[in-house]
Amino acid sequence: MSAEPVIADHENQPDQSFRDSLATVDAKGKRKWVYAQKPEGPFYRVRTYVSWFFFALLFTLPFIYVHGQPFFLFNIPNAKFILFGKVFWPQDFFIFGLTMVTFVVFIILFTAAFGRLFCGWVCPQTIFMEMLFRKIEYAIEGNAAKQKLLNAAPWTGHKIAVKTTKYISFYLLSFLIANTFLSYIIGSKALWKIITEPLSEHLVGLLSIIVFSTVFYAVYAYFREQVCTVICPYGRLQSVLLDPNSMIVAYDYKRGEPRGKFTKQEDSQLGDCIDCFQCVKVCPTAIDIRNGTQMECVSCTACIDACDHMMTSVGRPKGLIRYASEQGISRGEKIKYTTRMRLYTGLLCLLSVILGTLLATRKDVDATIMRTPGMLYQERGKDSLTNLYNIKIANKTINDIPLSIKLEDLNGKIEVIGGPTIRVKKEEEGSGSFFVVLPIERIHQRKTEIRLGLYEGDRKIDVIKTNFLGPVPGSDSD
């Protein structure tokens, strides 16, 4: 390693040659395996606690049932979704669409303000990789240097034993994740059936578990950082989502350059970076953050911890690598909660409230009422007119609903064909027909707007407006 100071000129004609190649691919296009050193420090500790919370949520949510119904379910094959115990149907597509739009706006605003905070702190790929698989690897194979030595060593009994232990542990963990993942799709009770009943009755389920386990295993044992640096679409969008005011993990080149080996000389012309490469050694994507913002950076903060440790060791202030914006670094400012961030946070909260209100006020029963096609009005005796209607009802609840229909604010009656109520089974669609009978003296125009109340017992579920057809005014109805 050169002892000469190296100056990264970030402001004027920066040397961007590092962008011509991937840190994890060599000149021949072969994958360079990343041996990331185990991070230590306050950020890593807090991330560990956050990951515990994340794992507790992830592994318990599919097992929470309310009134016999999963609290969360994402049954994509059957288009059935349950969020917070509420069943969502294809009829709720507009809520789904709005959720997607909110999600996209959320991502754009959040990233513009806070960079890849999500990737480093809560993305399942990062958390599983860094907080589970990587930790198991450290426990079995040792830290980065030992792993490198072991990989370079010939295949001895010891190496076979260590590698076998690691890969079996990885597969078992992938199997656990695959089962959890599947229980979000089919429900934990259905998963339990696959596990406990004869396998011949659940071949598709079994195959799904094996495929998911193998995919997870391949991702965490082999693909690893490639998922973030090559495959993840969110990572690819960073160049358009970030701007100079976005909060990123950044190297303070103003303070750090010109870098060079540590010296105690008071009159040294060097900056604070002692060129120890600790920030590079801990980086799970093998980049050198001192080169500037890079798409491969997943904002994991490992380099912040590493650099803070080095700064403390040499008696210099922490924060040479820190959360900051590019503007903040060029002006030598620490990260601030700017007006722009406040604005975006406010907007994100507003969007969340709108979506939350929509979800909370979503109707449990969707009904459509239409007059029977091709039929006008009929006379009933000398003093009444009737119209025939068809009703379609989607029951999104987990209980059967005996639905009755009443006229709101109008004298008259409803005659449901086949009985006083229409029974709609839970999570199914039902239909029926009914007559609305109105006194003839109430009909003064060809179309009279009426309001029909849908009731379960005395509980009003919904009110639907429709038209009642009568004779054209002035015509003789006899």
Stretch that binds ligand SF4, among 63-71, 303-311, 396-404, 467-475 (CB under 6 A): 303-311
Asked whether the beta carbons of 379 and 68 are under 8 A apart, the reply is no
- 112, 247, 250, 282: which one binds ligand SF4 (CB under 6 A): 282
Cβ count near 59 (within 10 Å): 14
| Cα–Cα distance for residue pair 7/182, rounded to 1 Å | 51
- Comparing CB distances to ligand SF4, the nearer of 271 and 470 is 271
- Comparing CB distances to ligand SF4, the nearer of 177 and 274 is 274
- 209, 247, 321, 329: which one binds ligand SF4 (CB under 6 A): 321
- Comparing CB distances to ligand SF4, the nearer of 283 and 394 is 283
Asked whether the beta carbons of 212 and 182 are under 8 A apart, the reply is yes
Rounded to a whole number, what is the largest CA-CA distance in the chain?
A: 113
- 23, 279, 394, 422: which one binds ligand SF4 (CB under 6 A): 279
- 117, 129, 310, 329: which one binds ligand SF4 (CB under 6 A): 310
- Comparing CB distances to ligand SF4, the nearer of 126 and 188 is 126
| Structure token digits, residue 198 | 């004869």
| Cα–Cα distance for residue pair 188/195, rounded to 1 Å | 10
Please list, in sequence order, all residues whose beta carbon lies within 8 angstroms of the beta carbon of residue 185, skipping any fewer than 6 positions away.
Answer: 73, 74, 75, 76, 77
- Find, among 455, 478, 454, the residue nearest to 465 by Cα: 454
Number of H helices, E strands in the chain: 17, 16
- Comparing CB distances to ligand SF4, the nearer of 319 and 471 is 319
At closest approach, how far in Å is the CB of 7 from ligand SF4? Answer: 13
Can you list the alpha helix ranges (DSSP code H) found in 187-227? 188-196, 203-218, 225-226
**Phi/psi class of residue 372: alpha, beta or left (left: φ > 0; alpha: ψ in -120 to 50)?**
beta
Does residue number 320 form part of the binding site for ligand SF4 (CB under 6 A)? yes
- Comparing CB distances to ligand SF4, the nearer of 141 and 308 is 308
Stretch that binds ligand SF4, among 50-58, 163-171, 296-304, 461-469 (CB under 6 A): 296-304
- 123, 178, 219, 298: which one binds ligand SF4 (CB under 6 A): 298
> Cα 228 vs. chain centroid, distance in angstroms?
16
At closest approach, how far in Å is the CB of 278 from ligand SF4? Answer: 4
DSSP secondary structure of 452-466:
EEEEETTEEEEEEEE
| Cα–Cα distance for residue pair 401/476, rounded to 1 Å | 43
Per-residue x/- marks for ligand SF4, 239-278, CB under 6 A?
----------x-x----x----------------xxxxxx
At closest approach, how far in Å is the CB of 271 from ligand SF4? Answer: 9
For residue 233, say if its preceding peptide bond is cis, omega within 30 degrees of 0.
Answer: no
Does residue number 290 form part of the binding site for ligand SF4 (CB under 6 A)? yes
* Residue in the structure block whose two tokens are 């946070």: 345
- 219, 302, 403, 438: which one binds ligand SF4 (CB under 6 A): 302
- Find, among 15, 13, 46, the residue nearest to 288 by Cα: 15
- Comparing CB distances to ligand SF4, the nearer of 307 and 401 is 307
Does residue number 299 form part of the binding site for ligand SF4 (CB under 6 A)? yes
Contact residues for ligand SF4, defined by CB under 6 A: 249, 251, 256, 273-279, 282-285, 287, 289-290, 297-303, 306-307, 310, 320-321
